[in-house]
Copies of this chain bind each other. A is one copy, B any other.
């Protein structure tokens, strides 16, 4: 029997990685299945052996991208700390995910809902709902901490959803401009400084 019958197999994940890379460079629509196969030194056959359609690959990339986000935030959100401190760490962790998983995060930037235009199967719509739920759930983590910060007096965000969108808007834009440079700031420095701007604000004291 197979060594890993349950896991989604290594070969499958390689495809997801290659697809993320292609999506980042060329965008989803301009990426062909052959592009993804070529990046692996393989052919269409391998790709379609693991995925039903091109949309399914995008979904897999999206799901993986969200998984990285949750993995970063989950250990922080329930720490016994004031909300402002947890929010700070969650923001920093989010930036780190954006940078370390650049291709995944940038690959899905063209938007989930836009991929759902045209004739989609029933199954695709279900997956779509699920992924939308993942994203909303992640954003809800931030809203939760913001609300807790209003309650414990460490934060001042009258409109919690709007504050959440402001934060995540800024942080999610990182893949749009970040490029690894030998002489540039470290990812950690970027994370802490951006977070400071958002939480402390840009105004002088």
Contacts and interface: CB of A to CB of B under 8 A. Distances in A.
Interface of A: 25-30, 84, 87, 110-111, 114, 117-118, 146, 149, 153-159, 162-163, 165-174, 176-177, 185, 190, 193-194, 197-205
A25 B113 CA distance: 9
A138 to B, nearest CB: 14
Contacts of A168: 173
Contacts of A172: 169, 173
A51 to B, nearest CB: 20
Interface of A is mostly: helix
- Copies of this chain, complex-wide, total 2
B202 A114 contact: no
Contacts of A193: 158-159, 162
A165 B157 CA distance: 22
Contact of A203 (B30, B162, B199, B204): B199
Contact of A155 (B25, B117, B153, B203): B203
Given A168-B173, A199-B201, 8 more contacts: A25-B117, A26-B114, A84-B204, A157-B197, A165-B177, A169-B170, A197-B201, A199-B202
Contact of A154 (B117, B190, B200, B203): B203
11 contacts: A26-B114, A87-B202, A149-B204, A154-B204, A155-B203, A159-B185, A162-B197, A165-B173, A166-B170, A201-B201, A201-B202
Contact of A27 (B29, B149, B176): B29
Contacts of A203: 84, 154-156, 199-201
